[in-house]
Structure 1
Amino acid sequence: MRLIYTALLILLCTCVRAQTDGTSPPELAPNTGGVGGKLTEAGSEAPVGFANVAVYSVENGEMVGGTTSDIDGNFTLKNLPFGDYRLEVSFIGYEDEEMLLELNNGERFIQMGKIDLSQGGATDLDEVVVTAERAIMELGLDRKSFNVEKSVASSGGSAEDLLRQIPSINVDLEGNVSLRGSGGVRFLINGRPSGLVGTDPTSYLKSLSSSAIERVEVITNPGAAFDPEGTAGIINIVLKKKQDDGFNASINLNAGTGNKFDGNLDLNWRKGKFNSFAGVSARYDERFFRGYRDQSGTLGDSLFSRYFTFEGDRLNRSQMFKLGTEYALSDRASIGIQGNYQLETGSNSNLRTTQFFDSENTLDRTSVRNETEPSDETDYEIQLNYNQTFRKEGRRLTGQLQYSQNDESEIENYYEVITDAFGAPYAPDGRQRSPTLEDRTRFLGELNYEQTFGDFKFTTGWRSTIEQLETDAAFQIFGGGDYATVDSLSNLFRYDEEVHALYATIGGKVGKVTFNAGLRAEQAYTTSNLLEPNPEVFNNDYFSLYPSVFAGYSFTENTTLQASYSRRVERPRAWALNPFVDRGDPFNLRSGNPFLLPERINSFELNLQQQYGKGTLTGGVYFRQLTDIISRITRIQEGGVSLSTRANLDRGRNYGVELIGTYRPTNKLDLTVSANGYRSEIIGNSDDENIDQNGYLFSGNVQGSYKLPWDVQAQFTYFYRSPGVRPQGRIQAMQSLDLGFRKDILDGKGAVTLRVSDLFNTRRYSYTTETGGITTVSEFQRESRIAYIGFQYSLNQLGRGDREERRGGDGGGMNDDF
Structure 2
Amino acid sequence: MPASRFSRLPLSLLCASALHSWAADAPAAPASDAQAKPAETTTQQTEQISVTGRQLSDNKLRQQSTASRIIVGKEEIARFGDSSVADVLKRLPGVTVGGPPGRRGGQISMRGMASYTQILINGEPMARGFSLDSLSPELIERIEIMRSPLAEHSAQAVAGTINIVLREDARKRTTDVSLSASQTDGHKLQPRIGLQHSDKAGQLSYTLSGNLQRYDQQESETRSVQRQYDSTGALTSEQWRASERQSRGYSLHLAPRLGWRYGEGDTLNLQMFAMHSQDVDTGETTLTQPLGVAPYDTAQARSDNRFDMVRLNLNRQMPLGELGKLTLRLGGDYNRNSSEETRIESQLGQPDARNLDHTLNREAGLSSSGKWSLPLGNGHSLDLGYDIDQKRRREERVQIGFSDSSTLDPASNTHARTLRTAFYAQDEWDIAPQWALYGGLRWEQISQRSEGGTASLDSRSAVWSPTLQGVWRLDEGKKDQLRLGLSRTYRAPRPADLLDRVVLAENNDEFSPDVRGNPALKPELSWGLEMAYERYLSQSGMLSANLFARQIEDVIRRVKRLGADGRWLSQPINLDSARAYGVELEAKFQLAELMDDAPPLDFRANVGRYWSEVSGVPGPDNRLDGQAELSLNLGVDYRLRALPLTVGGNVNWVPEYAVQSTAEERKQTGRKRVIDLYALWRFSPDARLRVSAGNLGHLDSYSASESRYNGRVSSSESWQRSWTSWTATLELKY
Name the TM tier (shorter chain).
Answer: 0.7 to 0.9
The answer to whether the 8 A contact 2:68-2:483 is kept is no
Distance in 2 (CA, whole Å) between partners of 1:232 and 1:316 is 34
CA 1:353/1:445 → structure 2, altered by over 3 Å: closer, same or farther?
same
Matched, 1:293 2:230: no
> Which residue in 2 is equivalent to 1:734?
672
Displacement after TM superposition at 1:450 (Å) = 0.9
Displacement after TM superposition at 1:486 (Å) = 7.0
SS of residue paired to 2:643 = helix
SS of residue paired to 1:43 = helix
Distance in 1 (CA, whole Å) between partners of 2:139 and 2:381 is 34
Q: What does 1:177-216 align with in structure 2 at a 5 Å threshold?
A: 177-183=108-114, 184-190=116-122, 192-193=123-124, 197-201=126-130, 203=131, 205-216=132-143
The answer to whether the 8 A contact 1:145-1:218 is kept is yes
Distance in 2 (CA, whole Å) between partners of 1:574 and 1:311 is 33
Cα deviation digits, residues 3-53 of structure 1 (max 9, x gap): xxxxxxxxxxxxxxxxxxxxxxxxxxxxxxxxxxxxx99834578899xxx
Distance in 1 (CA, whole Å) between partners of 2:525 and 2:612 is 16
1:778 aligns with one of 691, 714, 717: 717
Distance in 2 (CA, whole Å) between partners of 1:765 and 1:731 is 6
1:443 aligns with one of 339, 353, 366: 366
Task: Give the count of matched residue pairs.
Answer: 657
Distance in 2 (CA, whole Å) between partners of 1:548 and 1:49 is 14
Cα deviation digits, residues 90-129 of structure 1 (max 9, x gap): x9533354xxxxxxxxxxxxxxxxxxxxxxxx39xxxxxx
SS of residue paired to 1:474 = strand
1:502 aligns with one of 415, 420, 423: 423
Q: What does 1:238-277 align with in structure 2 at a 5 Å threshold?
A: 238-245=165-172, 247-257=173-183, 258=187, 259-277=189-207
CA 1:455/1:332 → structure 2, altered by over 3 Å: closer, same or farther?
closer
The answer to whether the 8 A contact 2:58-2:72 is kept is no
Matched, 1:537 2:494: no
The answer to whether the 8 A contact 1:293-1:776 is kept is no
Q: What does 1:143-162 align with in structure 2 at a 5 Å threshold?
A: 143-149=69-75, 153-162=79-88
> Which residue in 2 is equivalent to 1:81?
none
Residue 672 of structure 2 aligns to which amino acid in structure 1? M
SS of residue paired to 1:211 = helix
Matched, 1:654 2:580: yes
> Which residue in 1 is equivalent to 2:259?
326
Q: What does 1:92-171 align with in structure 2 at a 5 Å threshold?
A: 93-95=50-52, 97=54, 122=55, 138-139=62-63, 140=65, 141-149=67-75, 153-171=79-97
Displacement after TM superposition at 1:786 (Å) = 0.4
The answer to whether the 8 A contact 1:396-1:450 is kept is yes
> Which residue in 2 is equivalent to 1:54?
none
Distance in 1 (CA, whole Å) between partners of 2:601 and 2:410 is 59
Residue 220 of structure 2 aligns to which amino acid in structure 1? F
Distance in 2 (CA, whole Å) between partners of 1:227 and 1:762 is 37
CA 1:282/1:417 → structure 2, altered by over 3 Å: closer, same or farther?
same
Displacement after TM superposition at 1:437 (Å) = 1.0
Matched, 1:671 2:603: yes
The answer to whether the 8 A contact 1:402-1:445 is kept is yes
Matched, 1:221 2:154: no
Distance in 2 (CA, whole Å) between partners of 1:636 and 1:290 is 32
Matched, 1:701 2:633: yes
Displacement after TM superposition at 1:143 (Å) = 0.4
Cα deviation digits, residues 144-176 of structure 1 (max 9, x gap): 112243555452411122212222111112321
SS of residue paired to 1:442 = strand
Distance in 1 (CA, whole Å) between partners of 2:325 and 2:353 is 65
Distance in 2 (CA, whole Å) between partners of 1:433 and 1:485 is 15
Displacement after TM superposition at 1:508 (Å) = 0.9
> Which residue in 1 is equivalent to 2:657?
724
Q: What does 1:497-646 align with in structure 2 at a 5 Å threshold?
A: 497-511=418-432, 512-530=434-452, 532=453, 535-556=454-475, 557-574=478-495, 581=503, 583=505, 588-589=511-512, 591=515, 593=517, 595=519, 596-613=521-538, 615-633=541-559, 646=572
SS of residue paired to 2:555 = strand
Choose 327-336 or 463-472, whichever is displaced more: 327-336
Displacement after TM superposition at 1:665 (Å) = 1.0
Residue 737 of structure 1 aligns to which amino acid in structure 2? I
> Which residue in 1 is equivalent to 2:26?
none
The answer to whether the 8 A contact 2:584-2:609 is kept is yes
Matched, 1:462 2:415: no
Displacement after TM superposition at 1:331 (Å) = 4.2
The answer to whether the 8 A contact 1:142-1:222 is kept is no
CA 1:640/1:784 → structure 2, altered by over 3 Å: closer, same or farther?
farther
Cα deviation digits, residues 571-630 of structure 1 (max 9, x gap): 233565675748588664364635343322221111111234573211011011112223
> Which residue in 2 is equivalent to 1:19?
none
> Which residue in 2 is equivalent to 1:787?
726
CA 1:244/1:662 → structure 2, altered by over 3 Å: closer, same or farther?
same
Matched, 1:743 2:681: yes
Residue 615 of structure 2 aligns to which amino acid in structure 1? I
Distance in 2 (CA, whole Å) between partners of 1:670 and 1:290 is 37
Displacement after TM superposition at 1:722 (Å) = 1.8
Displacement after TM superposition at 1:369 (Å) = 1.8
CA 1:356/1:435 → structure 2, altered by over 3 Å: closer, same or farther?
same
CA 1:692/1:558 → structure 2, altered by over 3 Å: closer, same or farther?
closer
Displacement after TM superposition at 1:363 (Å) = 7.6
Distance in 1 (CA, whole Å) between partners of 2:300 and 2:294 is 20
CA 1:41/1:550 → structure 2, altered by over 3 Å: closer, same or farther?
farther
Q: What does 1:409-428 align with in structure 2 at a 5 Å threshold?
A: 409-418=338-347
Identical columns (%): 18
The answer to whether the 8 A contact 2:407-2:504 is kept is no
Distance in 1 (CA, whole Å) between partners of 2:73 and 2:96 is 18
Distance in 2 (CA, whole Å) between partners of 1:585 and 1:213 is 44
Cα deviation digits, residues 267-295 of structure 1 (max 9, x gap): 22211111123233211233421222222
SS of residue paired to 1:693 = coil
Distance in 2 (CA, whole Å) between partners of 1:49 and 1:222 is 13
Matched, 1:761 2:695: no
Distance in 2 (CA, whole Å) between partners of 1:582 and 1:273 is 59
Residue 488 of structure 1 aligns to which amino acid in structure 2? D
Displacement after TM superposition at 1:356 (Å) = 2.4
The answer to whether the 8 A contact 2:139-2:210 is kept is no
Choose 159-168 or 642-651, whichever is displaced more: 642-651
Structure 1 residues without counterparts, runs of 5 or longer: 1-39, 51-90, 98-121, 124-132, 796-818
Residue 579 of structure 2 aligns to which amino acid in structure 1? R
> Which residue in 1 is equivalent to 2:596?
none
Q: Considering only aligned residues, what root-mean-square deviation do their CA atoms show, in Å? A: 3.3
Residue 449 of structure 1 aligns to which amino acid in structure 2? W
Displacement after TM superposition at 1:646 (Å) = 4.2
The alignment's TM-score, normalised by the length of structure 2, stands at 0.82
SS of residue paired to 2:128 = coil
Cα deviation digits, residues 687-720 of structure 1 (max 9, x gap): xx99981487111111211113412111211111
CA 1:736/1:630 → structure 2, altered by over 3 Å: closer, same or farther?
same
Matched, 1:404 2:333: yes
Residue 179 of structure 2 aligns to which amino acid in structure 1? L
The answer to whether the 8 A contact 2:78-2:137 is kept is no
> Which residue in 2 is equivalent to 1:380?
310
CA 1:758/1:315 → structure 2, altered by over 3 Å: closer, same or farther?
same
SS of residue paired to 2:88 = helix
Distance in 2 (CA, whole Å) between partners of 1:335 and 1:151 is 28
Cα deviation digits, residues 530-565 of structure 1 (max 9, x gap): 1x2xx1112221222111011222222322111101
SS of residue paired to 1:589 = coil
